[in-house]
Structure 1
Amino acid sequence: MPEAILPRDEPIIKTPGSPSHTRRASLKVLSRNIDKVVLGNLLFDTWYFSPYPENVLFGSDHHSSKTSSNGEHRNGHHEKPIAPIISKLHVCPYCFKYSISPVDYVSHLQMHVKENEAGPDHWWPVPRTALKVYDWGGYTVWDIDGEQEKLYCQNLSLFAKLFLEQKSVFFDTAGFHYFVLTYSPTPDPSTPNAAKTRGRRRTSSGTNRDFGLKTQVMGFFSKENLSWDANNLACILIFPPYQHRNLGQLLMAVSYKLSGWEWEDSIIGGPEKPLSTLGRKSYLRFWSERIARFFMSQSADAEGQTLFGNVSKKRITFAKEEMTVKEIGDRTGVLPEDVIAALNEMGVCDALPRKWKKKSGDHQVPELAEEALPTTMLIKRSQILAWAERNNVDLVGPVKEEGFLGEWALSDLNEDESVDTSSAEGSVQS
Structure 2
Amino acid sequence: MSDLETRVPQIGQRATCSWRDSTKHKGEIVERRLKGSSAGGAPPSGSSAPSGSGSPKPDKPSDYEYYVHYVGFDRRLDEWIGSDRIDLTSIEVVQKRASPNDQGRTRGRGRPPSVNPPGAAHGHGSSNDPAILKLEKEHEELTKVKNIGAIQMGQYEIDTWYYSPYPDEYSGIPKLYVCEFCLKYMKSINTLRKHNSTCTCTRPPGDEIYRDGNVSVFEIDGNKDPLYCQSLCLLAKLFLDHKTLYYDVAPFMFYVVTETTQKGATVVGYFSKEKNSSEGYNLACILTFPQYQRSGYGKFIISLSYEISKREGKAGSPEKPLSDLGKLSYRSYWTLILFRLFRDRGDIDVEEICRETAIKVEDIISTLQHKDMVKEWKGQHVIHVEKSKVEEYLKRTERSKIRLCKPECLVWQPKEGTK
Structure 1 length-normalised TM? 0.63
Mapped partners of 2:330, 2:381: distance in 1: 25
Mapped partners of 1:375, 1:271: distance in 2: 23
Distance 1:322 1:218, change over 3 A: closer
Amino acid of the residue matched to residue 273 of structure 2? Answer: K
Whether 1:221 and 2:271 are equivalent positions in the alignment is yes
Mapped partners of 1:322, 1:144: distance in 2: 37
Please give the residue correspondences for 1:294-373 in structure 2 after superposition, counting only pairs within 5 Å: 294-297=341-344, 321=347, 323=349, 325-345=350-370, 347=371, 349=373, 351=375, 372-373=378-379
Distance 1:105 1:181, change over 3 A: same
Please give the residue correspondences for 1:19-418 in structure 2 after superposition, counting only pairs within 5 Å: 24-27=133-136, 28-29=139-140, 30=143, 31-54=145-168, 56-57=169-170, 85-112=172-199, 115=200, 123-127=201-205, 130-184=206-260, 213-259=263-309, 261=310, 266-297=313-344, 321=347, 323=349, 325-345=350-370, 347=371, 349=373, 351=375, 372-374=378-380, 376-392=382-398, 398-407=404-413
Say whether the 8 Å CA contact 2:146–2:164 is kept in structure 1. yes
**Further displaced range: 385-394 or 134-143:** 385-394
Amino acid of the residue matched to residue 249 of structure 2? Answer: T
Mapped partners of 1:39, 1:93: distance in 2: 5
Mapped partners of 1:144, 1:375: distance in 2: 40
Superposition RMSD on alpha carbons, in Å? 2.8
Amino acid of the residue matched to residue 399 of structure 1? Answer: C
- Give 1:35 shift: 1.4
Say whether the 8 Å CA contact 2:215–2:257 is kept in structure 1. yes
Mapped partners of 1:405, 1:322: distance in 2: 29
Distance 1:404 1:262, change over 3 A: closer
Say whether the 8 Å CA contact 1:37–1:89 is kept in structure 2. yes
- Give 1:348 shift: 5.5
Say whether the 8 Å CA contact 2:202–2:263 is kept in structure 1. no
Amino acid of the residue matched to residue 91 of structure 1? Answer: V
Distance 1:328 1:51, change over 3 A: same
Amino acid of the residue matched to residue 35 of structure 1? Answer: G
Say whether the 8 Å CA contact 1:348–1:379 is kept in structure 2. no
Give the secondary-structure state (helix, strand or coil) at the position aligned to 2:388: helix
Mapped partners of 1:397, 1:296: distance in 2: 19
Gapped runs of 5+ residues in structure 1?
Answer: 59-84, 116-122, 186-211, 299-319, 356-371, 409-430
Mapped partners of 1:396, 1:168: distance in 2: 31
Distance 1:225 1:377, change over 3 A: closer
Question: Which residue number corresponds to residue 207 of structure 1?
Answer: none
Question: Which residue number corresponds to residue 8 of structure 1?
Answer: 79
Distance 1:39 1:262, change over 3 A: closer
Give the secondary-structure state (helix, strand or coil) at the position aligned to 1:9: strand
- Give 1:103 shift: 1.0
- Give 1:153 shift: 0.6
Distance 1:221 1:393, change over 3 A: farther
Mapped partners of 1:343, 1:172: distance in 2: 37
Give the secondary-structure state (helix, strand or coil) at the position aligned to 2:301: helix
Say whether the 8 Å CA contact 1:136–1:403 is kept in structure 2. yes
Distance 1:399 1:232, change over 3 A: same
Structure 2 length-normalised TM? 0.64
Mapped partners of 2:408, 2:217: distance in 1: 14
Amino acid of the residue matched to residue 234 of structure 1? Answer: A
**Further displaced range: 225-234 or 4-13:** 4-13
Distance 1:24 1:378, change over 3 A: same
Say whether the 8 Å CA contact 2:126–2:321 is kept in structure 1. no
- Give 1:406 shift: 4.7
Amino acid of the residue matched to residue 165 of structure 1? Answer: D
- Give 1:390 shift: 2.1
- Give 1:124 shift: 3.2
Question: Which residue number corresponds to residue 34 of structure 2?
Answer: none
Mapped partners of 1:7, 1:37: distance in 2: 16
Amino acid of the residue matched to residue 25 of structure 1? Answer: K
Say whether the 8 Å CA contact 2:273–2:282 is kept in structure 1. yes
Mapped partners of 1:291, 1:393: distance in 2: 18
Amino acid of the residue matched to residue 277 of structure 2? Answer: S
Identical-residue share of aligned pairs (%)? 32
Distance 1:179 1:373, change over 3 A: closer
Distance 1:240 1:335, change over 3 A: same
Give the secondary-structure state (helix, strand or coil) at the position aligned to 1:24: helix
